Chain A
Amino acid sequence: MEIKVNGEPRQIEQETSVLKFIQSLGLDSRKVAVEHNGEILEETEFSGKTIKEGDSLEIVRFVGGG
């Protein structure tokens, strides 16, 4: 099924949690901010939110330094 990640179409095999999807991208869930269908998620919500056909995700990664 098709979803959108940062505006780009992307295929996933089946519904999955936001947490699993982030991990599949090799990202650290503590260092990303995620909007799921326009709604900002707390990190504690990642495991309970399911990504479905047609959903959109905005994933922003933070690296240290300031």
Chain B
Amino acid sequence: MPANSDTILIFVNEEPRRVAPGCSIRQLRDRFKPAADILIDNGHPVTEDVAVGESDRVVLIKRGEVPSSDELEALMVARHGPGIHEKVKRARVGIAGCGGLGSAVAIALARLGVGVLRLVDYDIVEPSNLNRQQFFIDQIGRMKTDALAENLARINPYVKTESIQMRLNRANIAPTFADCDAVAECFDDPIAKRDMTVAMRHDLPHVPLVTVSGIAGIGPSDKIGIRKIFDNIWMVGDGETEAAPGQGLLAPRVAVAAGHQANVILRILLGEEF
């Protein structure tokens, strides 16, 4: 018999609380936060009055009010479902290039709550980038690494970012990403993409890489596939549609590819792939 058989332990806005068994979520609201109009039980907003159970995580929010930092992280985390947060929070992921792919991959991973994102790029935000890259007009002229880190902090301040301003090449890729749990190749240049694969395959065979080839144009989204090309390397893309005059890089296909990259990385971090 538990010591407190007449109560159950739950968490209300991340505070441990003992309440009577059968206690309902509206009773909790009335007791702990009467002004709350959004009631969340284990990550799911509930509209009907439901009884809470042992170990439930209940979050009570007043619409429009920014929750405290602990509440906010708990809310975002609970939405993922069990077992995700603990694993991604411990991870460090490298973003090699912070353009169309890199900015979108980083945002997805920040929303997941990946512990550390290492952002590497040598370039600044230019007006032409805004057709697909996750920057804002007022960031034109800024270093991409800094502008992206700023945007990520606005989305999820519990993700740490490490900005490195350098041009990656065959020699400096391995030292830059040796301590990462996974890396996304997000370059534009095909030779740099090739160097990334060769470096990661040769120098860091235990670090998974998700590379991209073939995402330009307006071809069907479902031609953008995912395949494992070498033991530690996955490739996203249709394999052939290159960025060229008359065949640009457009936001939708770049987003499809970046979403594939982020999901492969999530699956790697959760032990589903590697």
Q: Which residues of A contact B (CB under 8 A)?
A: 30-33, 35, 40-43, 58, 60-66
Contact = CB atoms under 8 A, between A and B. Distances in A.
A58 to B, nearest CB: 7
B198 A42 contact: yes
Interface residues of B, number: 36
Nearest to A60: B229
Contact of A40 (B202, B211, B212, B241): B202
Interface string B181-200: 00000111111011001100
Contacts, number: 84
Given A30-B194, A65-B242, A40 B201 contact: yes
Contacts of A40: 198, 201-202, 230
8 contacts: A60-B197, A60-B235, A62-B211, A62-B213, A63-B214, A63-B240, A65-B215, A66-B97
Interface-centre pick from B99, B229, B254 (highest chain A CB count, 10 A): B229
Given A33-B201, A58-B229, A58-B230, A63 B194 contact: no
Given A62-B193, A64-B242, 8 more contacts: A30-B190, A33-B197, A33-B229, A40-B230, A62-B197, A63-B241, A63-B243, A65-B242
B198 A61 contact: no
B110 interface: no
B60 interface: no
A63 B215 CA distance: 9
B21 interface: no
